[in-house]
Amino acid sequence: MDEEEVGLRSFSAATLCALVSVTLCIALGGSVLFEAAWQQWRFNGSTGHELIANDPRSQREASLERKVLALATSLLPATDIKVSVQVESASANGQVAELKSVLLIIDRAQPDNNIEESLSSLVSAGLAMNSARGDQLAVRFHPFPSINDTAYEKFGLSPSKRMLLGLGISLLGLIGSVLLFHHYRKIRAKTLQLENDYRDQLLRFKAIAQEEPARVASVLSGWLNGTPLK
C-alpha cells in the first residue's frame, strides 16, 4: 500500500500542475482571442457608415450617394469606393438650381487615368451634372486603412493572426482538459478498485474472526508480541 499511496500522491501533484497549465492556456487563449476580436470590431465600427440625419437635404445627399455608388460599382468593387455628396441650392435668373459636389475616393495607392475618366463620365451622365452650372466632381486615389496595417499590430502580429493564435492556445487548453479528465477517470477507477479490494479483505477477516476467534486472537497476539508465526 505504501507504493500505491506514493503513486497517488505523485498523481495528485502532477494533476495539480496539469490543471494549472490547462487553465492558463484557456485563459491566455481566451484573452488573446477577445482582444483581437475587440480590435476587429472597433475597426469595423470606425469604418462603418454614419447615421443619416432626417432633414430633407441629408436624405437627398444620401440618396445621391447610393446612386453614385451603384454607378461606380459597375466598374469597381463597392469595398474599393467611398462616396461623398453635398447638395446646395443656388438662385440664378429667378430660378432655384441644385448644385451637386461629388467626391469619389478609390482604394488605390497610385492614380489611374482610365478609372478616373470612366468614373467621371459615368457619374456625370448618371446625375446629369453640369460644370457650367456649378456642379463639381472629383476622383481621388488613396489606399484605405486596413486591419492588417502595422498600426494595429501587437508583438508583430496582426489582429487576424492574433485571433488564430488565441484560438490555437484555447484549443490546446481544451484538448488538455479532455485528456486530463480522461486520465483522472482512470486513476479514480483504480482507486475505487483498491478500496473495494480492501473492503473485501476486511469482510473476509471479519468472517474468519467470527468462525475461528481463537485463531485470530492468537495471530493478533503474535503480531503484537513479535512472536513469529508457525
* DSSP per-residue codes, 173-222: HHHHHHHHHHHHHHHHHHHHHHHHHHHHHHHHHHHHHHH-HHHHHHHHHH
* Cβ-contact 38, 154 below 8 angstroms: no
Q: How far is CA 153 from the centre of its chain?
A: 16
- Beta-bridged to residue 202, according to DSSP, are none
Measured at the alpha carbon of residue 106, what is the angle toward residues 104 and 112, in degrees to the nearest 5?
Answer: 110
Beta strands in the chain (DSSP E): 81-92, 95-106, 136-141
- Nearest CA-CA partner of 87 in 144, 136, 30, 45: 136
Q: Using CB atoms within 10 A of its CB, is residue 201 exposed (0-12), middle (13-18) or buried (19+)?
A: exposed
pLDDT value of position 122: 92
Query: Helix, strand, or coil here: 140?
Result: strand
Give the per-residue pLDDT at 121.
93
Q: What is the pLDDT along the chain (230 residues), one digit of tens a residue?
A: 444 454 445 456 777 787 888 888 888 888 888 888 887 777 766 555 454 456 667 888 888 999 999 999 989 998 889 999 998 887 666 677 788 999 999 998 899 999 999 999 999 999 988 888 888 999 999 988 776 656 667 777 877 888 888 888 889 888 888 888 887 788 778 878 888 877 877 777 777 777 777 777 777 777 777 655 45
What are φ and ψ of residue 148, in 5° steps?
-90, 5
Q: Is 120 exposed, middle or buried (0-12, 13-18, 19+ CB in 10 A)?
A: middle
* Amino acid present at 217: A
User: What local confidence, expressed as pLDDT, does residue 83 receive?
Assistant: 92
Taken in order 159, 163, 164, 169, the sign of the CA dihedral is positive
- CB of 33 within 8 A of CB of 166? yes
